[in-house]
Amino acid sequence: MKKIALALGLLGATVFANAADPLNGTVWKTIDDESKQAKALVKFTEQKNGTLSASIVQVLTPGEENSCTKCEGPYHNKSLKGVTIVHNLKNVGGNNYDNGSILDPKNGKTYKLKGTLAGSKLNLRGYIGISALGRNQTWIRAN
């Protein structure tokens, strides 16, 4: 009986250790920190290396869906839908995330990214160099 309990306990621990990140598969409404308006819906996807990325699945601001004119690389002058704006975001314990990067399609610049998941809100900080030199956004869970 002890062997069965031990085996079930180890199996449960393995399942828990391999559980997907809580952000994986979730969709979030981005809220512009300056205008306070909803800009887009983005979906997080866990990558094979355990980091998270997020891509725009829908643009909510009329007239802004057509192109990423200031984006560089493969997204230059492409539709914003499908643009991956978050790269390499990593869960660093509990509801805390760090070591990521975020693209601002408005200016085409990429910033370092960290954040905290708080229920139906995702509090993000994009910055250059040190965290004190940045700005905050709060995204709202859409699903």
pTM of the model: 0.82
With CA atoms as reference, report the closest residue to 21 among 99, 91, 84, 117: 91
Q: What is the pLDDT of residues 103-131, one digit of tens each?
A: 988 888 899 999 999 999 999 999 998 88
Question: Top-level CATH class of 21-141?
Answer: mainly beta
14 phi and psi angles, rounded to 5 deg = -65, -45
